Structure 1
Amino acid sequence: MKDVEKRFNVRLKYNVDTVGKRLPHADFRIRPYSIEETLDNICKYFDFNWWKQSGNTYKIKPYEYMRRHTEDGQKMLTWLSSLYNNKEEWEARRDTLRREMRQRLQIDEYLDSCVKGKKAILSKIRKYDGYTVQNICIETLPGEHIFGSIYTPTSKGKHALIICPNGHFYDGRYRKDQQQRLGTLARMGAICVDFDLYAWGESEAEYPTHQTDRAHVIQAMNGLILLDWMIENRGKQIDMTRIGANGGSGGGTHTVLLTALDPRFTAAAPTVNLASHFDGGCPCESGKPIHLSAGGTCNPELLAMFAPNPVLVVSDDGDWTASVPELEYPYLQRIWGFYGKKDAVRNVHLPKERHDYGPNKRKANYEFFIDVFNLDRSKLDESKVTIEPKEMMMTNLKK
């Protein structure tokens, strides 16, 4: 490998143990015209993979089933696109995909096992400028709970409802930018509901670890249970034609999943997550083998199942979503085009930004929901949102 570094004038970093490993016919594996083909030939013998980083640096890592190179994503989308050339062919594929995906996720088995008729535990309502916040806790499976927050507009009438799954950003649903986004959407006229990841926040006490494929189905189940509860208990406040899903990173992955699972959603804004070459780096996003459904799929095809409803995909150059404008977005436009709704799928790409839920990403979300859900733009002011301490947002079930 030192010879490879010198020959190609690159730097190799390692996230694998190479001590004592020997490579047969090593010199013959070198391709003098391509560092990347050379690394392919070396890495595949040990079930390693390489990843290009900044400048001339490459990192050698263990094989990851959920992560591929951008070129692999392009090949996947090309293959998928060859399977359908019109709405009828696409919908036949979509129906097969939905059926197999539900089976592989095991979502119906979990939903059938849920506690029936259990009442939610609700905190006192906290009143702020144009919205309120209330903690919610629901027992789902025996001894297991959803812990979340409901942000409600103080304005009268029926409101949009947005389910907001969380990603792996530090501090989860308690963090400042999460409260800013949900509070602002509530001020503008949307009821927003978020909830802890599996084994994060308050639910950390109920599970041994987040790193399990069980998190994949539980988080999806929790989103659907909250949707059901809100409709059953707050239905008079909700406009059923305006049901949204919105989340970033792993929350964006679950935004896509929720739209594929439940036809009641009418708009979605997955943020800094979508790629054809990355299924999600945590078992809560890719632990169940849903991407093997219908002979093989990827997150853009799962999102395409939501066509022709309005969708916003937010991407940037600082993470795996850098390929969206040239790769995933044209694929989505083609599917929406089968319905004559090509303009209903949108992409806001932020080339100078990295993987976060910063102001420009939140602004893109606001503009989208203002448009598709007719929210009140005059209430778009994040400075009016009160940032609550974590302790205030917790149910403290064991007290």
Structure 2
Amino acid sequence: MGKHLSAWRSVVTRRVVILAFASTISGMTVFAQDELCAGNHFTPEEGAAMLRDNRPVDKKAWESRRQAVIAQIKAGMGLEKLPPKPSSQPIRHSKKTFEGYTVENVAFESLPGIYVTGNLYEPTGRRKGRPAILAPHGHGRNPDGRFMEQTQIRAAMLARAGAVVFTYDMIGHGDSQHSDHKIPKALKLQTINSIRALDFLLAQPGIDLSKVAVTGESGGGTQTFLLAALDDRVKVTAPVVMVSGFFFGGCVCESGMPIHKKGAYQTTNAEIAALTAPRPMLLVSDGKDWTRFTPESEFPYMQHIYQLYGKKEAVGNVHLPEEGHDFGPSKRKALYDFMGKYLGINLAMLKGKDGQVDESRVKVLAENELRVFDDAHPRPANYVSGDVQVNALLDKI
């Protein structure tokens, strides 16, 4: 991979200003800017050149590179060793039943005093061989996070089709009010939360462990491919409007820790997403954000990686050139078809009499109906609160 590294050095050395270091100010870890790759860290031309010119020559070369990328993700997050899972029981309440599915409000500890909060959607009637889908959300706040219509609809529709789906809050969103969203180690905490969310989801009755998927949009897309890179329990992924060879995520929860760069080492989100291979993956892209070049840049790169395993057909791309940055109806339809193919969900449950997808058959609920913590269900006594307190807890891991 010498050529691979030297080409990246030629770009990134222009951006290095100071030596890499991390310091602590008032209990808050701050990472050196030259180790971080935020937002449009490269130009589209630079990103495309890296992917085009530095493809691994064979499976052996890729497997070596793959292990190096995974190792730096863990080191950059400070997650070489996952902290112990708390033994407390999940909080579950306010289960509601609709046509073909149920919704329940859920919380459980990912770290002592840190609670993952979300909603569990389950199909009615089906108790065995159930696919599982983890559904992180992006940064939208209209309404907040998992309460958004686009999040509720996809979760409910997938549950109607037979999957068990868990939607959960980013930190600082929804019921997850331990700290501000943009604490320095947000990426570390969200990754721990995602792993523990997967633990919870797979512990539900009747889950088929060969049919486990993750799908999210934007920042939720980042969580999708990072979780798949670190956890082989994930069998199918669909990162929506996120995977890019030049854009690294514009929030500290995506690029605020040194997972992309360390000294001469450099990777991109496209290469991290490729770590999913040869497990099935759908890239959903559009014409109005950083995924606008996917058909001619990121997708051919993914196909090359998948072909090293003889699985080129397992990666797909649905590109919507006239659309923008969301998880709208056409993107959801692409997701349903993909999950039907690889998880065996019942697509007939999603269609009306005309044979077309009919999302009016699911109900969008008000925020107060989906919240885990309220006057009747207060936060647990050990609930950790405050940026300094949360960061101090993360510093100990």
> What range describes the TM-score normalised by the shorter chain of this pair?
0.7 to 0.9
Please give the alpha-carbon distance, in whole angstroms, between the structure 1 residues aligned to 2:265 and 2:85: 34
Q: Is structure 2 residue 257 aligned with structure 1 residue 288?
A: yes
Distance 1:398 1:108, change over 3 A: farther
Looking at structure 1, the residues matched to 183 and 337 of structure 2 have their Cα atoms a distance apart, in angstroms, of 35
Q: Which residue type is aligned with residue 198 of structure 1?
A: I
**Gapped regions of structure 2 (runs ≥ 5):** 1-14, 18-35, 351-357, 380-397
List structure 1 runs of 4+ shifted beyond 3 angstroms: 63-66
Q: Deviations over 1:156-211 (max 9, x none)?
A: 2221101111111222100111111000001011111111111111112x21x212
Alpha carbons 2:243, 2:283 under 8 Å: kept: yes
Return the offset for 1:130.
0.5
Structure 1: tracts of 5 or more residues without a match? 1-43, 47-62
Map of 1:363 onto structure 2: 333
Letter in structure 2 aligned against 1:73: G
Q: How does 1:248-263 map to 2 (within 5 A)?
A: 248-263=217-232
Cα distance change, pair 66–318 in 1 and its aligned pair in 2 (3 A)? closer
Give CA deviations for 1:260-315 in whole Å, capped at 9, x if unaligned: 01001110000001101011000001111111168110111111111111100000
1:93 is aligned to 2:65 = yes
SS for the counterpart of 1:357 is: coil
The match for 2:277 among 307, 312, 320 is 307
Corresponding residue for 1:373?
343
TM-score by length of 2: 0.80
Q: Output the amino acid matched with 2:347.
A: R
Match of 2:183 among 212, 217, 228: 212
The alignment status of 1:276 with 2:245, answered yes or no, reads yes
1:398 to 353, 372, 378: 378
Cα RMSD, aligned residues only: 2.1
2:110 to 137, 140, 152: 140
Whole-angstrom distance in 2 between the partners of 1:352 and 1:196: 29
SS of 2:316's equivalent in the other structure is strand
- Structure 2: how far apart are the matches of 1:339 and 1:115? 34
- Report if the CA contact (8 A) 1:213-1:286 is conserved: no
Map of 1:385 onto structure 2: 362
The higher radius of gyration belongs to 1
Q: Which has the higher contact order (CA 8 A, sep 6+)?
A: 2
- Scaled by the length of structure 1, the TM-score of the pair is 0.80
Cα deviation for residue 340 of structure 1 reads 1.0
Query: Does the aligned pair in 2 maintain the 1:309–1:344 contact within 8 Å?
Result: yes
Give 1:176's aligned residue: 149
> Does the 8 Å contact 2:37/2:261 carry over to 1?
no
Q: Of residues 292, 298, 302 in structure 2, which corresponds to 1:328? A: 298
Find the aligned partners of 1:375 and 1:65 in 2 and give their Cα distance. 37
- Pick closer, same or farther for the CA change 1:311–1:323 going to 2, 3 Å: same
Aligned-pair identity (%): 38
Q: Name the structure where helix makes up a greater proportion of residues.
A: 1
**1:240 equivalent in alignment to 2:220:** no
Preserved contact between residue 308 and residue 341 of structure 1 (Cα < 8 Å): yes
Q: In the alignment, is residue 199 of structure 1 matched against residue 172 of structure 2?
A: yes
2:79 is the alignment partner of 1:107: yes
What is the distance in 2 between the residues matched to 1:88 and 1:102? 22
8 Å CA contact 1:316–1:322 kept in 2: the answer is yes
Distance in structure 2 (CA, Å) of the matches to 1:120 and 1:226 = 11
Equivalent residue number for residue 59 of structure 1: none
May I ask how many residue pairs the two structures share in their alignment? 333
Distance 1:335 1:366 in 2: 25
Structure-1 residue corresponding to 2:386: none
1:365 aligned counterpart, secondary structure: helix
Deviation per residue, 1:2-50 (Å, 9 max, x gap): xxxxxxxxxxxxxxxxxxxxxxxxxxxxxxxxxxxxxxxxxx9x9xxxx
Which among 127, 150, 153 is matched to residue 123 of structure 2?
Answer: 153
Q: 2:211 and 2:308 mapped to 1: Cα distance?
A: 23
For 1:71, the equivalent position in structure 2 comes to 45
2:63, 2:168 → 1: CA distance? Answer: 32
Partner-residue secondary structure (3-state), 1:138: strand
Amino acid at match of 2:241: V
